[in-house]
Structure 1
Amino acid sequence: MGNHALTIEFPEYVDKIDELKQQDAEFARMANEYHKLDHQIAGLESRNMPVADEHFEELKMQRLRLKDQIYKRLLNGQG
């Protein structure tokens, strides 16, 4: 079980993440949603959730899609 916080996933973008959270409401919403998903997944992992659990897998897919969208915004500076 690892920490997938945005600042750990994208250490080179720590300042950009903070900047976009303040200036871009949509980015802030995505970052907040990502954080909630990551927290939920970590909680399930700590309770030894079965890896084949469909809900658990769906949460991980949602997190992955959000991470991809966030990364694109970090690269482009917008959506």
Structure 2
Amino acid sequence: MIENHSLANELPEFKEAIHTLKMSNHHFAKIFEQYHNTDKEIHRIEQGIENTTDEYLEYLKKQRLHSKDALFAMLKKHEATTA
């Protein structure tokens, strides 16, 4: 079974903050879009819709993790400034 790595699924406690920052922070929205697109590509590969090398799939997973880390840092900063 293929796991769902959508940002809302990965960080459910930040669901409202994700929506707020997507609408108000261009940098967050850009990284969110990159995360989403990378996640979709990984799903297509894992489902066999697209073929690629194991190295490229690992590269994509690292990119997704890097984007998630950046988004998480922005979410934590947003939470700290709005608390």
**Which portions of structure 1, spanning 4 or more consecutive aligned residues, are displaced by more than 6 angstroms?**
none
Match of 1:46 in 2: 47
Query: Structure 2 matches for 1:13-24, cutoff 5 A?
Result: 13-24=14-25
Match of 1:64 in 2: 65
Per the alignment, do residues 22 and 48 of structure 1 end up closer, same or farther by CA in structure 2, a change over 3 Å counting? closer
Structure 2 letter corresponding to 1:19: T
**Larger radius of gyration between Structure 1 and Structure 2:** 2
Identical columns (%): 35
Unpaired segments ≥5 residues, structure 2: none
Q: CA deviation at 1:33?
A: 0.6
CA distance in 2 between counterparts of 1:48 and 1:75 reads: 35
Q: How many residues align?
A: 77
Match of 1:2 in 2: 3
Per the alignment, do residues 20 and 2 of structure 1 end up closer, same or farther by CA in structure 2, a change over 3 Å counting? same
CA distance in 2 between counterparts of 1:73 and 1:4 reads: 18
CA distance in 1 between counterparts of 2:7 and 2:59 reads: 19
Match of 1:32 in 2: 33
CA distance in 1 between counterparts of 2:27 and 2:49 reads: 33
Calculate the TM-score normalised by the size of structure 1.
0.90
C-alpha RMSD of the superposition: 1.9
CA distance in 1 between counterparts of 2:36 and 2:66 reads: 13
CA distance in 2 between counterparts of 1:8 and 1:67 reads: 12
